[in-house]
Amino acid sequence: MLVSLKKFRVKVGRGISRIRQRFSSSNNRFLAYLAILGPGIIAANAGNDASGIATYSSIGAAYGYDLLCAFLPMTVSLIVVQEMCVRMGVVTGKGLADLIREHFGVRWTALVMFALLIANTGVIISEFVGIAQASELFGIPRYLTVPITAFFIWWLVVKGTQKRVEQFFLALSLVFFCYIISAFLAKPDWELVGESFLKPQFHKFDRTYLFIVMALIGTTITPFMQVFVQSSVVEKGLDKDDYPLARADVIVGTIFACCIAAFIVISTAATLNKIGVTEIDSAATAAEALVPVAGQYAKYLFALGLFGAAMLAMGVLPLATAYSLSEALGFEKGLSHSFREAPIFIGIFTTLIVIGVLVALIPNIPQIQLLLVTQSINGILLPFILVAIVLLASNREIMGEYKNSFFYNCLAWLITIIVSILSLMLIGNTIIGML
């Protein structure tokens, strides 16, 4: 009896020890994830910028819940693209522009980086305009908020450390929960929402519908996100051992960002589409239009989300541009460097901030026309960036055992071809619309 009792106690002790080990291991993994957390979440959320919010609002207003089904393949596509960039960053220790310059030549890199500079400058200006519109929804003039927020972001990046900047960007990402709350305030038909995710709805072929579908793709996968996420991983010093957690960061960040985009569509579909408001020219217009249906709280939540989203993007976009140009030209770069150590990097970042402020303060700036032009440039650039990413990620000499598998490569090329075709169609459609 005593022997049996001792055996039982030994077994119980071993069981508790295993549970403690597992719990401890789980805690260690969680703490490790928190340490690595950042690049994937920040890059994905920066894609939900002022122009992105305007696009998602337009989709919900014009087509209700019908395009929610597109978010599932878009989420998978963005995860695949971002994951390849993160993998290249941890394996090679180099940014995307660095690898493009080394393996495709200086001329090719110069052309791609010039297009990226022009496109990103236009989008940066639109982010400052988004800040202005959001502040005016709260009754605060843009001439006060735009310079103050611009100086704060500049000071944070130039005077802060990589860790501090990353923590601030992560904190800003929390503001996107405003769109989840505003969606619930709109009281949508959740059963219909669920059906729309699983059952595609097709409309008659017309130019407007085609444009909105292509804009949805273009808003979700943009070149600056790939540049930023890879450069951030490199600057953070992540290596091959960190790859599993860095990949988890990308997956979690992408799913969260795409869910937020879907909630924006749901909130405007349940309100604006329901009352027949089908045309939205900006995120600020969408916020104002929510008032008759969802009330003032929905408007202010939407405006707060717009302010936070634009502020996050107005920090990430100049950084992504400074990273890419510095890497392409072979100059020192990084958030931990002073102006003396990285004058080109800090100079590019500062110049883009100043341009964004000055242009955003111009009264009645044609934001829609500006976005159309930059969207077209991004549409031209995106196929080249995607092709370069797939070729680099599948190169054994660069990636070794971490290169794309055969199945992964097939999926990556399929995404590249589909997104490239849609991007080129969007450019053609935009040009026809301008003419």
Give residue 353's pLDDT: 92
Residue 234 φ/ψ, nearest 5 degrees: -65, -45
Read off the pLDDT of each residue in 138-159 and give the average, rounded to a whole number. 88
Q: Assign residue 382 the CATH number of its domain.
A: 1.20.1740.10
Question: How far is Cα of residue 268 from the mean position of the Cα atoms in its chain?
Answer: 21
Q: Is 21 within the bounds of a domain? A: no
Read off the pLDDT of each residue in 196-206 and give the average, rounded to a whole number. 70
Question: How far is Cα of residue 4 from the mean position of the Cα atoms in its chain?
Answer: 60
Q: Is 247 within the bounds of a domain? A: yes
Q: What is the pTM of this model?
A: 0.82
Q: Is 6 within the bounds of a domain? A: no
User: Each residue of 5-54: pLDDT tens digit?
Assistant: 344 333 433 443 443 344 344 455 554 445 556 777 888 888 788 777 87
Residue 336 φ/ψ, nearest 5 degrees: -85, 0
Q: Is 4 within the bounds of a domain? A: no
The residues near 125 (Cβ < 8 Å, ≥ 6 apart) are 355, 356, 359, 360, 365, 370
Q: DSSP H helical segments within 161-222, as ranges?
A: 162-173, 177-185, 190-198, 207-220
Decide which of 78 and 434 is more confident: 78
Q: Which residue reads 């077994």 in tokens?
A: 11
Q: Please give the residue range of the domain that contains residue 228.
A: 40-434
The DSSP string of 334-394 is -TT--TTT-HHHHHHHHHHHHHHHHHHTSTT--HHHHHHHHHHHHHHHHHHHHHHHHHHHT
Give residue 167's pLDDT: 81
The DSSP string of 257-270 is HHHHHHHHHHHHII
Q: Is 27 within the bounds of a domain? A: no
Give residue 242's pLDDT: 84
Q: Is 250 within the bounds of a domain? A: yes
Name the percent of the chain lying above pLDDT 90: 13
- Percent helix, strand and coil across the chain, each rounded to 5? 85, 0, 15
Whether pLDDT at 370 is above 80 = no
CA triple 74-314-299, angle to 5 deg: 75
Cα 36 to Cα 33: distance, rounded to the nearest angstrom = 5
Q: What is the DSSP letter of 64?
A: T
Q: Is 16 within the bounds of a domain? A: no
Whether pLDDT at 155 is above 70 = yes
Which of 117-121, 152-156, 323-327 is modeled with the greatest confidence?
Answer: 152-156
Whether pLDDT at 364 is above 90 = no
With 0-12 / 13-18 / 19 or more C-beta atoms within 10 angstroms meaning exposed / middle / buried, residue 17 is exposed
Which of 48, 127, 126, 133 shows the shortest CA–CA distance to 372?
126
SS3 (DSSP) at 243: helix
User: Each residue of 93-122: pLDDT tens digit?
Assistant: 988 888 988 888 888 888 888 878 887 888
With 0-12 / 13-18 / 19 or more C-beta atoms within 10 angstroms meaning exposed / middle / buried, residue 388 is buried
Q: Is 106 within the bounds of a domain? A: yes
CA triple 39-165-332, angle to 5 deg: 80
Mean predicted lDDT score pLDDT of the chain: 79
Name the percent of the chain lying above pLDDT 70: 77
User: Each residue of 284-322: pLDDT tens digit?
Assistant: 666 666 665 556 677 777 788 888 888 888 888 888 888
The number of distinct structural domains making up the chain is 1
